[in-house]
Structure 1
Amino acid sequence: MEFPKKNSVNKTGKSEGVGTTDIIIVGAGVAGAALAYSLGKDGHRVRVIERDLNAPNRMAGESLTPGGYLNVGSIDCVDEIDAQQLLGYTLYKDGKEARVSFPLEKFQSHVAGRTFHNGRFIQRLRKKVASLHNVSLEQGTVTSLIEENGIVKGVHYKNGNGKLLTTYAPLTIVCDGCFSNLRRSLCYSKVDIPSYFVGLTLTNCNLPKENYGAIILAHPSPIVFYQISSTEIRCMVNVPSENVPSVSNGEMACYLKTQVAP
């Protein structure tokens, strides 16, 4: 596949070419960073462009199944971040409970799921990505895809200094999350959102069963608990509505007290 040798021009003016690579990955969250590491280990030249290389503060992507723990170099990524062992979940409904454990009989004792702070895990994973000589990890904001005859050839992006750059690759993979500004050019953009998850952090308390998350099948919606550090538990409450109650004016606190807590 041939690539343009001259710098490209887009609507905002001239952009400086930074060469070609095998694969461009937009976004270095869990999916993008894990994919970059796997492809880099296979010998591909990869350029990863991430909008913000600081540790994210998110409640998504806070757990690995045992399979995820064993893959993509995740084992040492959960070291030194106070990750917690996860053996399965206990389901609760109408005063009854059922424990669902991961099938770990054929594995060594250290193999289990893991739960953790998302930002701590991602920073460890990014560090592994950056250690590969054939992978470039840089901070920048992709402004547009470069398309010719319906084929994506590369991307325009601004680096950390605001400089407009262009890079090309035979394959571009977009992993920039649920709020992507590129998806409307790649797929049907209308999304129906029947509900949202709201996250709380509980400190210095214990789950009913050690090393097991808890799923409460209750009205009006399910609630999930799991440990994210030795002193913190994540509580995820599903809000079955297209409109999330406001936190700033107290609507969320009222909703949790009157609709969820009972």
Structure 2
Amino acid sequence: MKKYELLKDDTKEISGHTLYRIKALRDFGDVTKGDLGGYIESENNLSHFDNAWVFGDAWVFGDARVYDNAEVYGNAWVFGDARVFGDAEVYGNADVFGDARVCGDAWVCGNAVIKSTEDYIVFKNNWSSGRYFTYTKSNKMWKAGCFYGTGQELIEKAYADSELSGKCYEAYVKLVEQLEEIQVDIVVNTIDKIGLKRVVVPKYIADKIEYCKGAEGYGLFHAMDYCFGYKDSAEWLEYNQETFARAWLDGYEMEAENDTEV
């Protein structure tokens, strides 16, 4: 038996995709029959089994799938070939896309950008509560129970709870910092070895990237959607979406002004 239907009279449009508001047809999990959910492109995006659900203003589209007991809510977007499953939660202004898999007890939130399983780490508090906590690489933020903040903020809060908790969380924060230093060294050495260069973008695109990175809640797809609101950016972005994504994620160089002169 289906657990929801698509409302054809309540839609959203994004880059050629039409998304439909969902409405629950029966009670399950924390959802009651008649509840309105978020937006999906088709029934392939959200399983009719178990308690998976898309809430509020969250969007799921493309070939993305949400299933098991996973939840997507807030202003989060899940798209591309991404999968969210298990007891995972994606919310806030997070973007999950590409071949990313968010699963288990992972909590991805804030303005995190997840494009692969390398972009987040889930740990378990095995010294007291037994709960899981998550680190997201793109925004360098930690989620542990009701806490959401930076590594230093997590350490300070943990020490305020107990010395044991503080020492344990501090060890995990330092572990992640060491892992990221190793990864940076590997990337830099690889770039030097193969001569890989950053993508080049025009100034009006660079300006919008910096604006969106400085604005609270903007992820990659939100930034692209923002750029589509300007004629010059939209025309450039129509043929350079991959370049924009690389610029957003890996950095860029700005083309010289005379490069665009006719």
TM-score by length of 1: 0.26
Larger radius of gyration: 1
TM-score by length of 2: 0.26
